[in-house]
Amino acid sequence: MKPAKLHYWILGWFFTALCCWCTSDTFIQSDIHPHAWKKLYFAHHWPVTVCKMNANDCHDPPEYWTIHGLWPDRAEDCNRTWHFNVTEIKDLLSDMRHYWPDVLHSSLNRTQFWKHEWDKHGTCAATLEVLNSQKKYFGKAIELYQHVDLNGCLLKAGIKPSSSYYKMTAIKETLTRFYGVTPKIQCLPPEEGEEAQTIGQIEFCFTKELQLVNCTAREGGSNVMHAHLKLGTSELSVCNDTLPTYYPSEVQNHK
Ligand SMILES: *[C@@H]1O[C@H](CO)[C@@H](O)[C@H](O)[C@H]1NC(C)=O
Ligand SMILES: *[C@@H]1O[C@H](CO)[C@@H](O)[C@H](O)[C@H]1NC(C)=O
Ligand SMILES: *[C@@H]1O[C@H](CO)[C@@H](O)[C@H](O)[C@H]1NC(C)=O
Ligand SMILES: *[C@@H]1O[C@H](CO)[C@@H](O)[C@H](O)[C@H]1NC(C)=O
Ligand SMILES: *[C@@H]1O[C@H](CO)[C@@H](O)[C@H](O)[C@H]1NC(C)=O
């Protein structure tokens, strides 16, 4: 290669690299292309912890893990003209109330939570044919919930709400062994003067073919998911492997 050619080659490489770098950076900003997502996060939350995080009217939370949402990574609010319409999911309503309740507003109009999930996440997930209607999106989430059966898995492993603490590594290993993939586990950090974190959310990752995958791979890059973690005044974050972990059976410190 002649020196001049080499020079252009290097320059070309440099701009290609620069360009990729810019593109991945703009993912974080806005105007995310609805097709840009790669993975679905299927979030289950522990209603008792959700209640603990909020000063809202949250009475008698269910004592089983419920659905928080089915979220494409790297995409949100993909179609603002595709409005949520509860009539479209009328056949699913009894399952929805049971498996996907609005834990925080149980006494109010419950469709708001589903509307929020559809507007923000469902409209993006709908680029997949198997999720391209409200009935398919919510119906498939319920199907995945039953298939994953997180409540059954934890029960079989003897991991139950308790006043004594669990080791986070034990919970993580149990789930990883059972499912063959590593979920993302989130906790409320210890409050001042407390030693234990409180488990709050477990997310399973799926490919676009709806196969389970590790949540850990290529986690960095986008911070879009952060938006989901904040509820009320306290915030969930990835659990600390070394802290004792509380799996609460009743709401304490109710504000
Ligand atoms: C957005 O949703 C509307 C209403 O369902 C639909 O007609 C339109 O094709 C959608 N736009 C895109 C870009 O998917
Ligand atoms: C809601 O969906 C139902 C059933 O598909 C349909 O008949 C109705 O027109 C829709 N309502 C609106 C406001 O789009
Ligand atoms: C709940 O909200 C929907 C749409 O916002 C409305 O049509 C319905 O009447 C409300 N139901 C109750 C019980 O308030
Ligand atoms: C998931 O992670 C586990 C352990 O971290 C690894 O053994 C396994 O091969 C991974 N599976 C996939 C499908 O990437
Ligand atoms: C986990 O908690 C321990 C003990 O409080 C602390 O030293 C460590 O920095 C924490 N690790 C992370 C990743 O936050």
Q: Which domain holds residue 175?
A: 39-253
Assess if residue 94 is contained within a domain. yes
Minimum CA distance residue for ligand 2 atom 11: 85
Q: Structure pTM?
A: 0.82
Q: How many domains does the chain have?
A: 1
**Which of 176, 179, 181 to probe ligand 4 with, by most ligand atoms within 8 A of CB?**
181
Name the active-site residue from 44, 45, 68, 228. 68
Contact 209, 122 (CB under 8 A): no
> Which residues on adjacent β-strands are paired with residue 205?
41, 213
Q: Which of 72, 247, 224 is nearest to 175 (CA)?
A: 247
CA distance 66 to 43: 9
Assess if residue 198 is contained within a domain. yes
CA of 220 to the centre of ligand 5 (A): 20
- Could you list the pLDDT tens digit for every one of the 255 residues in the chain? 444 444 444 333 333 333 333 333 334 434 557 678 999 999 999 999 998 888 666 878 999 999 999 999 989 999 999 999 999 999 999 999 999 999 988 766 679 999 999 999 999 999 999 999 999 999 999 999 999 999 999 999 999 999 999 999 999 999 999 999 999 999 999 988 999 999 999 999 999 999 999 998 554 444 444 444 444 457 899 999 999 999 999 755 433
Q: Provide the pLDDT for residue 8.
A: 41
Assess if residue 2 is contained within a domain. no
**The token pair that represents 247 in the structure block:** 């799996």
Assess if residue 34 is contained within a domain. no
Ligand 4 pocket check for 181: Cβ under 6 Å: yes
Q: Provide the pLDDT for residue 250.
A: 77
Ligand 4 pocket check for 213: Cβ under 6 Å: yes
Ligand 2 pocket check for 87: Cβ under 6 Å: yes
Q: Chain-centre distance of CA 132, in angstroms?
A: 19
User: Which helix (H) or strand (E) segment is 94 a member of?
Assistant: helix 93-99
CA of 7 to the centre of ligand 4 (A): 42
Assess if residue 188 is contained within a domain. yes
Task: Kindly list the distances between the CA atom of residue 155 and the CA atoms of 99, 150, 195, in Å, as whole numbers in the listed order.
Answer: 17, 8, 25
Assess if residue 33 is contained within a domain. no
What CATH number is given to the structural domain containing 130?
3.90.730.10
Opening angle at CA 221, ends 215 and 224, nearest 5? 80
Contact 82, 136 (CB under 8 A): no
Assess if residue 30 is contained within a domain. no
Q: Provide the pLDDT for residue 217.
A: 56
Q: Which amino acid is at 118?
A: W
Minimum CA distance residue for ligand 3 atom 10: 109
Assess if residue 16 is contained within a domain. no
Tokens 């590593």 correspond to: 182
